[in-house]
Amino acid sequence: MARTIQIFDTTLRDGEQAPGCSMNLQEKVEVARQLEKLGVDVMEAGFPAASPGDLAAVKAVAGVVKNSVVAGLCRALDKDIDAGWEALAKAAAPRIHTFIATSPIHMEYKLKMSPDQVLERAVAAVRYAKRYCSDVEFSAEDASRSDPDFLCKVFAAVIDAGATVVNIPDTVGYAIPEEFGRLVQYVKEHTPNIDRVKVSVHCHNDLGLAVANSLAALVHGADQVECTINGLGERAGNASLEEIVMALRTRKDLFDLTCRVDTTQIYATSRLVSQVTGVRVQPNKAIVGENAFAHEAGIHQHGVLANRATYEIMTPESIGIPRNRMVLGKHSGRHAFEERIKDLGFTLEPQAIEEAFQQFKILADKKKVVSDRDIEALIAGTTATVPETYRLDRWVVNSGSTMSATSTIRLAHKDGTIHEYAAVGDGPIDAAFKAIDHIIGKEPDLEAFELGAVTGGEDAQGEATVKIAYEGRRWNGRGISTDIIEAAIKAYIAAINAMEWELAAVANGNGTKREVSQGV
């Protein structure tokens, strides 16, 4: 009988730590709901001690998730654990996740502590966390570069102190699969009380081996694997949830392992995380990339038409990529539209469905056929995660090779006032952004700007993504339109709205700026 392993998703914590991937509270809740729908056993919602905003976000996730364990990461410090429990207290199934580094280089240069001091701190942290919560996970940061015997000694002590899960992180992605598998096996064989806990692993992708190391660990007896959607995370990222889960499913003959993830929710979850973080999935990304199920070579196409198994070791449907059963266009009705939304894995409130349907009808007048990717983009564009401080009312640009680019922007403020300004810039988009800056009275730095097509063809929707920075904080914005300039303006306004909402929260004492370093 296949052994069931636990999937610990840390997209909301480690994934969010990746540069440019921060999420606001509403976005974290939205992703958390989708992760619950996906069926992850544990979701790490954040680092509560990092800031009041992170604490509030973890608390919000803990308040809505009912079918997954909700974890909060805490350093081995009483104040961190206090903040962790404040955030997790109302969770249906809370877990305090505390950690301290155990490798010689971390102990000497980062912690400036002796091994005995680290051992003492680890035990004290677990005991302190146990006062609040019955489920306590302990992580030995940089375990793959730690002395194995010291690692076993620490684990034995924290298990006696009450830990329910011990985690073996490859924090800097240093290990190779055979080596990491042996380490997991060594810990299981040389920690006398290891049978009282679950053994977890958390692998980073610095050498591109995070998934391979995670699978090797599972083969050698690990009970839980920590991973992220789309492989997001610090530096080169974490082990990719979708790759681990589909490897277990596709090669169950080899692994004889199973998990409770609903694989048909993988694609929808990947798309949602990509949208809220503003980080696009590379086309050749395994499982969820645009080209993962694409076949261009003639011999491949012939084989797939004869039998899909010739070149597809898994089906698109198995991860939730729908196959068109009907063409949607301007004559399509609301019922067909709603059914397609459900097929794509979205759950929307009636008002959001109505708004998306109206946008669909407008788009259908411009395009002969509306694709699934068009619909996904529409839904992302009509389900704002922050209140709209500013709304685009109208815009005009003038540009040419022999004239300066100018743009006139008119924005409607949430208080009902209308603001209009004309600006000159280095191109129409730059002029539009400058006009918006003048209206809002701030000049955020534009750190990244991308334009792409949602689908192919001359009538494709343009998709714009921007990242802005202001006073040490960063925000993402996304916009879509059949006009690429309008898509860029909408994306910039979306980022501005996220900025205005968060700055207002900071002014009210609910800031989200990170104040402590994070680990594991």
- pLDDT for res 211: 98
Q: What is the pLDDT of residues 336-379, one digit of tens each?
A: 788 878 777 677 788 888 888 888 888 888 776 777 777 877 77
Two structure tokens written together for 202:
């958390």
Looking at per-residue pLDDT, the higher value among 189 and 310 belongs to 189
Looking at per-residue pLDDT, the higher value among 506 and 277 belongs to 277
Looking at per-residue pLDDT, the higher value among 458 and 432 belongs to 432
Going by pLDDT thresholds of 50, 70 and 90, the confidence category of residue 193 is very high
Range of 209-213, 280-284, 364-368, 484-488 with top mean pLDDT: 209-213
Answer yes or no: is pLDDT of 513 > 60.
Answer: no
Dihedrals φ, ψ of 110, to 5°? -95, -55
Going by pLDDT thresholds of 50, 70 and 90, the confidence category of residue 162 is very high
Q: Are 9 and 229 contacting, i.e. CB atoms less than 8 angstroms apart?
A: yes
Q: Are 348 and 339 contacting, i.e. CB atoms less than 8 angstroms apart?
A: no
Mean pLDDT, to the nearest integer, of 53-66? 96
Residue 319: CB atoms within 10 Å: 23
Based on its alpha-carbon atoms, the radius of gyration of the chain, rounded to whole angstroms, reads 24
CA distances from 162 to 127, 150, 196, 325, 479 (A): 7, 19, 10, 54, 49
- pLDDT for res 362: 85
Looking at per-residue pLDDT, the higher value among 509 and 424 belongs to 424
Going by pLDDT thresholds of 50, 70 and 90, the confidence category of residue 332 is confident
Torsion, Cα 167 170 171 173, to 10 degrees, reads: -160
How many whole angstroms separate alpha carbon 370 and alpha carbon 17?
A: 35
- pLDDT for res 168: 98
Going by pLDDT thresholds of 50, 70 and 90, the confidence category of residue 481 is confident
The closest alpha carbon to 483, from 473, 472, 475, 491, belongs to 491
Answer yes or no: is pLDDT of 510 > 70.
Answer: no
Answer yes or no: is pLDDT of 298 > 70.
Answer: no
How many whole angstroms separate alpha carbon 409 and alpha carbon 208?
A: 45
Going by pLDDT thresholds of 50, 70 and 90, the confidence category of residue 301 is low
- pLDDT for res 287: 96
Q: Read off the pTM.
A: 0.82
- pLDDT for res 104: 98
Looking at per-residue pLDDT, the higher value among 517 and 85 belongs to 85
- pLDDT for res 259: 98
Going by pLDDT thresholds of 50, 70 and 90, the confidence category of residue 248 is very high
Answer yes or no: is pLDDT of 158 > 60.
Answer: yes
Two structure tokens written together for 218:
């599972």
Could you tell me what percent of the chain has a pLDDT over 70? 92
Q: What is the pLDDT of residues 210-236, one digit of tens each?
A: 999 999 999 999 999 999 999 999 999
- pLDDT for res 381: 61
Answer yes or no: is pLDDT of 143 > 90.
Answer: yes
Mean pLDDT, to the nearest integer, of 294-321? 77
How many whole angstroms separate alpha carbon 168 and alpha carbon 107?
A: 16
DSSP 228: B
Mean pLDDT, to the nearest integer, of 242-257? 97
Answer yes or no: is pLDDT of 516 > 70.
Answer: no
Mean pLDDT, to the nearest integer, of 86-108? 98
Mean pLDDT, to the nearest integer, of 144-153? 98
Q: Which residue has the tokens 């076949």?
A: 295
Q: What is the pLDDT of residues 5-37, one digit of tens each?
A: 999 999 999 988 876 677 888 889 999 999 999
Mean pLDDT, to the nearest integer, of 366-395? 78
- pLDDT for res 305: 67
Could you tell me what percent of the chain has a pLDDT over 90? 66
Q: Which residue has the tokens 């002796």?
A: 114
Q: Is 262 helix (H, G, I), strand (E, B) or coil?
A: coil
Q: Is 154 exposed, middle or buried (0-12, 13-18, 19+ CB in 10 A)?
A: buried
